[in-house]
């Protein structure tokens, strides 16, 4: 019986979730000495940071990423301006984005989670405050969280996935990875 590999990786800002190099010169997963023949279970866009699970276990990958499986993903999101509870209630009810309506999200205010500084830093405006939110979703459409916050008038400045299934990012720093067990995730 094949022994599958499971890897937790803290994807830094500006890294593409692929191993093949880009003509643009962008960093990819290949730049982090990850084990061979594993693939991302889900993606994070180039502008997002945080937990990425990689594996060579295809059925597990499908189970973790298929929206029908309802595996929760948790994001810490810094938004421009300070939303009200009424604003967040819109996200909690599901929002229309392009041609679909998101499932209801669990959204709460959190204190600054004190992540390592991003390179390059987020843009800041002296007269416009920011807020940190924890957003829990069980789907993962392309740029979904960013589109959700923008749809209610609070653009995402920084987005970090901190949790997938049972696994939490807390043990890693940007660019670090470690092999984990399947039971640590599901």
Closest CA to 85 of 162, 161, 157, 152: 152
Q: What's the pLDDT at 82?
A: 97
Instruction: Tell the residue number behind the tokens 């939110």, with chain if given.
Output: 133
Catalytic residue among 26, 33, 45, 56: 45
CB-based burial label for 129 (10 Å; 0-12, 13-18, 19+): exposed
- 5 neighbors 56 (Cβ within 8 angstroms): yes
Would you state the pLDDT for residue 9?
97
Q: Which of 7, 23, 61, 14 is nearest to 176 (CA)?
A: 7
Angle formed by the axes of helices 85-93 and 144-151, to 10°? Answer: 130
Domains and CATH numbers, the chain: 6-66+165-184 (3.30.70.580), 72-164 (3.30.70.1560)
User: What's the pLDDT at 185?
Assistant: 87
What residues have CB less than 8 Å from 10, skipping those under 6 apart?
A: 49, 50, 51, 52, 169, 172, 173, 174, 175, 176, 177
What's the pTM value of the predicted model, to 2 decimals?
A: 0.94
Cα(87)–Cα(112) distance, rounded to whole angstroms? 20
φ, ψ dihedrals at 100, nearest 5°: -145, 160
Tens of each residue's pLDDT in the chain, 186 residues? 779 999 999 999 999 999 988 788 899 999 999 998 999 998 899 999 999 999 999 988 888 887 677 788 999 999 999 999 999 999 999 999 988 899 999 999 999 999 998 988 888 888 899 999 999 998 878 899 999 999 999 999 999 999 998 899 998 999 999 999 999 887
Please give the Cα distance from 161 to 57 (Å, whole number): 21
Ramachandran region of residue 57, left (φ > 0), alpha (ψ -120 to 50) or beta?
A: beta
45 flagged as catalytic: yes
> CB–CB of 132/78 below 8 Å?
yes
- Per the CB < 8 A criterion, the answer to whether 155 and 80 are in contact is yes
Res 49: pLDDT: 97
């Amino acid at each position: 019986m094949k022994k599958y590999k499971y890897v937790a990786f803290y994807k830094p800002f500006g890294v593409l979730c692929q191993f093949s190099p880009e003509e643009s010169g962008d960093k990819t997963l290949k730049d982090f000495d990850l084990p061979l023949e594993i693939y991302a279970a889900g993606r994070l866009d180039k502008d997002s940071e945080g937990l990425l699970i990689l594996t060579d276990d295809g059925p597990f990958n499908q189970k973790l990423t298929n929206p029908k499986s309802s595996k929760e993903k948790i994001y810490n999101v810094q938004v421009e301006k300070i939303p009200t509870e009424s604003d967040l209630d819109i996200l909690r009810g599901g929002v229309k984005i392009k041609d679909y309506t998101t499932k209801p999200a669990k959204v709460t205010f959190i204190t600054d989670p004190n992540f390592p500084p991003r390179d390059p830093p987020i843009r800041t405006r002296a007269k416009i405050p920011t807020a940190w939110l924890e957003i829990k979703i069980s789907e993962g459409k392309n740029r979904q969280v960013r589109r959700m916050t923008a749809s209610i008038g609070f653009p995402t400045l920084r987005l970090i996935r901190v949790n997938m299934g049972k696994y939490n990012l807390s043990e890693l720093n940007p660019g670090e990875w470690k092999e984990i067990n399947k039971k640590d995730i599901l």
